[in-house]
């Protein structure tokens, strides 16, 4: 059967706030790839808002995944993002075991924390469980906090020198993913992304820092990297495409003077993907 390329996105579905699957679906679709969502939770707005509705989808995930398997759906890529509970991590592993074939690209964005702190929904036990995803990942997109957690390193004692970052990436790669990008390394007026690929020279890619942090930035990044790799780009080009897109979209969002939790106005530039 002839079909477009197809990616499964394992993430929460948030109605307002431009994050998770609400970001991945339009971006991956704009890249002419079918995007199929596995919802880990349903939220009215994300948890960066003071009043949110949340429905945990964990009790329904197995039946949802069973239905896909019985229907005979296959995927060219699988991208996992925010996972809401320890139980869900086991279900995500089950999904990889069922649907990851020899040529299926697996991208893991281990959304756990930032600036040396875990997000409120994460525990040390969940961080330990997240390590179980590494053998399934072809690509890993952590920030420095998440990379340190995956390796049981003290975030505050790690320097951001290229040698140190390469050592971290190599240690992660030895557990599964051949390609690793450590995102959001801030230094002065710039943000750096450290790109590591096994048996190639690692690179620091710099871009300007625009405004403060915004929700959904990592989701935009991982979605574009996933789509670009499925389209056939090499890893460095995929990362550069994500960085360039974010630069434009964040600059536009800042000009709109929107609150941080409204996310990034990525819609303005979808046609460029």
CATH number at residue 251: 3.40.1190.20
Q: Is the pLDDT of residue 53 over 80?
A: yes
Residue 149 inside a domain? The answer is: yes
140-174 confidence digits (pLDDT tens) = 999 999 999 999 999 999 988 999 999 999 999 99
The residue that leads in pLDDT, 87 or 30, is: 30
User: Which residues are CB-neighbours of 50 under 8 A, at least 6 positions away?
Assistant: none
Which pLDDT score, from 0 to 100, does residue 78 have?
A: 98
pLDDT at 86: 87
Asked if residue 1 is part of any domain, the answer here is no
Helices 21-30 and 217-231, packing angle to 10 deg: 30
Calculate mean pLDDT across residues 106-133. 90
**271 within a domain of the structure (yes/no):** no
| 8 A C-beta contact, residue 39 and residue 109 | no
Does residue 76 lie within any of the structural domains?
A: yes
Q: For residue 1, what pLDDT is reported?
A: 66
User: Is residue 99 assigned to a domain?
Assistant: yes
Q: What is the average pLDDT score of the chain?
A: 95
Report yes or no on 272 lying in a domain: no
Query: What was the pLDDT predicted at 31?
Result: 98
Q: Which of these, 100, 102, 42, 107, lies nearest to 73 by C-alpha position? A: 100
Residue 84 is predicted with a pLDDT of 81
Position 273 in a domain: no
The count of domains in the chain is: 1
Nearest one of 84, 87, 130, 86 to 108, comparing CA atoms: 130
The three state secondary structure string of the chain is CCCCCEEEEEEEEEEECCCCHHHHHHHHHHCCCEEEEEEEEEEEECCCCCCCCEEECHHHHHHHHHHHHHHCCCCCEEEECCCCCHHHHHHHHHHHHHHCCCCCEEEECCCCEECCEECCCCCHHHHHHHHHHHHHCCEECCEHHHHHHHHCCCHHHCCCCHHHHHHHHHHHHCCCCCEEEEEEEEECCEEEEEEEECCCCCEEEEEECCCCCCCCHHHHHHHHHHHHHHHCCCHHHHHHHHHHHHHHHHHHHHHHCCCHHHCCCHHHHHHHC
Q: Which residue range forms the structural domain that includes residue 157?
A: 6-266
- Torsion angle, alpha carbons of 159, 164, 167, 172, to 10: 30
Residues 134/180, Cβ–Cβ less than 8 Å:
no
Residue with tokens 């949340």: 54
């Amino acid at each position: 059967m002839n079909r477009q390329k197809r990616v499964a996105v394992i993430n929460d579905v948030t109605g307002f706030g431009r994050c998770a699957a609400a970001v991945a679906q339009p971006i991956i679709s704009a890249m002419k790839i079918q995007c199929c969502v596995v919802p880990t939770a349903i939220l009215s707005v994300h948890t960066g808002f003071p009043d949110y509705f949340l429905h945990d989808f964990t009790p329904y995930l197995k039946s949802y995944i069973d239905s896909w398997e019985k229907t005979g759906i296959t995927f060219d890529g699988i991208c996992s993002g925010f996972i809401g509970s320890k139980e869900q991590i086991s279900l995500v592993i089950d999904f990889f075991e069922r649907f990851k074939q020899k040529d299926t690209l697996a991208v893991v964005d281990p959304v756990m924390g930032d600036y040396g702190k875990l997000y409120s929904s994460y525990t040390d036990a969940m961080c330990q469980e997240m390590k179980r995803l590494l053998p399934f990942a072809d690509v890993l997109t952590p920030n420095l906090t998440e990379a340190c957690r995956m390796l049981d390193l003290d975030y505050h004692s790690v320097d951001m020198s290229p040698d140190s970052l390469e050592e971290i990436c190599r240690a992660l790669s030895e557990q599964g993913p051949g390609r690793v990008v450590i995102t959001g390394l801030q230094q002065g007026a710039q943000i750096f992304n450290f790109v590591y690929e096994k048996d190639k020279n690692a690179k620091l890619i710099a871009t300007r820092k625009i405004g403060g942090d915004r929700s959904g930035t990592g989701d935009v990044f991982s979605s574009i990297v996933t789509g670009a790799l499925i389209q056939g780009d090499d890893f460095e080009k995929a990362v550069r495409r994500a960085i360039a897109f974010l630069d434009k979209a964040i600059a536009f969002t800042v000009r709109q003077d929107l609150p941080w939790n409204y996310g990034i106005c990525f819609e303005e530039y979808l046609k460029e993907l």
